[in-house]
Chain A
Amino acid sequence: MNGWLLAAAVLLVAGLAPVLWTMAVGEPRTRLVAQNLSTVLACPVFLLAAQGFGRPSYTDLALVLAMLGPAGTLVYARFLGVLPRSRVVLGTAWTVVPATVLPLCVVAGPGRAMAKLLVIGVLVVAGNTVTSAGTDRHG
């Protein structure tokens, strides 16, 4: 039983399934928060899958999502005209992401792989801090 893949499964069921439900039934601002949360939760899942399957090259997926996830949220925010403040997203970004990246860094050991993991972690946290801080005008 691979602990990393188990953690990924837990994130999927406990995190992304409720996000899907909220997206299907919520109102516009809640849906935008759900979309934001989905990218924050998916990055750790990709990192855990990379470690669980033993294929370090899968971290590129998390890197690209770390860049494009906040961009996607900002696209929707521009067309909805509002970027809601969201403590859920902020909290998740600052807890789940470090809780995933730090053990992975410890396992990877010092080197290029660890640097890449840290860059991905910083990008996810920074990007989603901006999108979750929110403004009430269009922003």
Chain B
Amino acid sequence: MDEVLIAIAVVLVAAAATAAVFHRDPLRQSMVLSLLGLFLALLYTFVQAPDVALSQLAVGSAVTPLMILLTVRKVKRGPRSGSEDR
């Protein structure tokens, strides 16, 4: 049963990574990357590496998307004045 779970997780990771490569828009790509991170955390758990899985969950859930999206907003906003809190 363990091998079945690992196999499923590996296939999901591969599919998510392929999907991430095929999206060019940063916002969409960051969503797929967050899903990839979740599948990676599941894979790490199934191969009995919970510390790594916890690191992956912690970083990939909120911090990385926040950094990516803030960067995208800054780049898109440019030098216009009248900033909004968004």
Contacts and interface: CB of A to CB of B under 8 A. Distances in A.
Q: Which of A23, A28, A39, A138 has the most CB of B within 10 A?
A: A23
A68 B62 contact: yes
Contact of B8 (A9, A19, A32, A76): A9
Given A5-B5, A9-B5, A61-B54, A17 B12 contact: yes
Interface string A1-41: 11001101100110011011001100010011011001100
Interface of B: 1-2, 4-5, 8-9, 12, 15-16, 19, 22-23, 27-28, 31-32, 34-35, 38-39, 41-42, 45-46, 48, 50, 53-54, 57-58, 61-62, 65-66, 69, 72-73, 86
A20 B16 contact: yes
Given A17-B12, A72-B65, 6 more contacts: A20-B19, A23-B19, A46-B45, A60-B54, A69-B61, A75-B65
Contact of A16 (B1, B12, B28, B53): B12
B34 A72 contact: yes
Nearest to A8: B5
Contact of B46 (A2, A49, A64): A49
Query: Top 7 nearest A-B pairs by Cβ distance?
Result: A68-B61, A24-B19, A79-B69, A72-B61, A5-B1, A71-B62, A72-B62
Interface of A: 1-2, 5-6, 8-9, 12-13, 16-17, 19-20, 23-24, 28, 31-32, 34-35, 38-39, 42, 45-46, 49, 52-53, 55, 57-58, 60-61, 64-65, 68-69, 71-72, 75-76, 78-81, 138
